Amino acid sequence: MLVDRWPLFGLRLRTPRLELRLPTLDQLAELADLAAGGVHDAAVMPFTTEWSDAPPDERARGTLQWHWRSWSQWSPGNWTADLVAVHDGAVVGTQGLGAHDFAVTREVGTGSWLGRQFQGQGLGTQMRAAVLHLAFAGLGAQYATSGAYTDNTASLRVSRRLGYVEDGVARHCRRGQPATVVRLRLDRDGWAAHRTVPVELTGLEPCLPLFGLDAGAG
């Protein structure tokens, strides 16, 4: 079976409202359809990579290619787990967790988006809480980082609710204009103090070598 060769397909993160997992091809097609339908108002740009400005068909195709690329380029020293979030049987968005040299740095970064019709319902908080549980409880992370433009209040609100603190700013070119990103950092103690979303994690043990860890190292 495929999961025997690539155990990440057996990894599951469950919250009261969501299941997060590496997508099947059909779920990946659902996610591409969500991307084609738009993930934010055209007047704003929440992403530092402006992929969502592409036409709908290109957004969909790019979504597929992004996930396939993360699968094909995965290595224990450089990985990104791009998971789909499933709510009531439907794919509602994607949540990523990635790291370079994680076995040494014990630091991860996150990124996510939701289909527009699923925003404002608290799902983004549960998505982030799920991968933070994977990082800290499952993999033994010490730090998690994130970032958002100063006008991306929804993302900043999620981060602060989960215990992140500001860690400086960075200047970016956004649609040809300067814009400021707030860098955010969460340490293990901060995560433990702000755990309000219960998360069930299954299927991790056989995946640990793919994350650069020995079995039982989380």
DSSP sequence for 6-22: -GGGG-EEE-SS-EEEP
- Considering the domain boundaries, does residue 76 fall inside one? yes
70, 6 in Cβ contact below 8 A? no
- Considering the domain boundaries, does residue 122 fall inside one? yes
Distance from the Cα of residue 55 to its chain's centroid: 23
Q: Which pLDDT band holds residue 47 (cuts at 50, 70, 90)?
A: confident
Amino acid identity at 138: G
Is the model's pLDDT at 174 over the cut of 70? yes
- Considering the domain boundaries, does residue 91 fall inside one? yes
Three-class SS state of 196: coil
Is the model's pTM score more than 0.75? yes
Distance spanning both ends of the chain, measured CA to CA: 26
* Main-chain dihedrals φ then ψ at residue 115, nearest 5 degrees: -60, 145
Q: Over the stretch 98-151, which tens digit does the pLDDT of each residue have?
A: 999 999 999 999 999 999 999 999 999 999 999 999 999 999 999 999 999 999
What is the extent of the structural domain holding 47?
A: 2-211
pLDDT of residue 137: 98
120, 155 in Cβ contact below 8 A? no
pLDDT of residue 216: 56
Give me the CATH number covering residue 164.
3.40.630.30
Q: Over the stretch 175-184, which tens digit does the pLDDT of each residue have?
A: 999 999 999 9
Structure tokens at 93: 């968005």
Mean pLDDT in residue range 43-61: 92
- Considering the domain boundaries, does residue 143 fall inside one? yes
State what percent of residues in the chain have pLDDT above 70.
99
Mean pLDDT in residue range 39-67: 93
Question: Closest Cα partner for 213 from 108, 125, 126?
Answer: 108
pLDDT of residue 184: 97
Count structural domains, the chain.
1
- Considering the domain boundaries, does residue 217 fall inside one? no
- Considering the domain boundaries, does residue 218 fall inside one? no
- Considering the domain boundaries, does residue 17 fall inside one? yes
Structure tokens at 116: 């527009």
- Considering the domain boundaries, does residue 185 fall inside one? yes
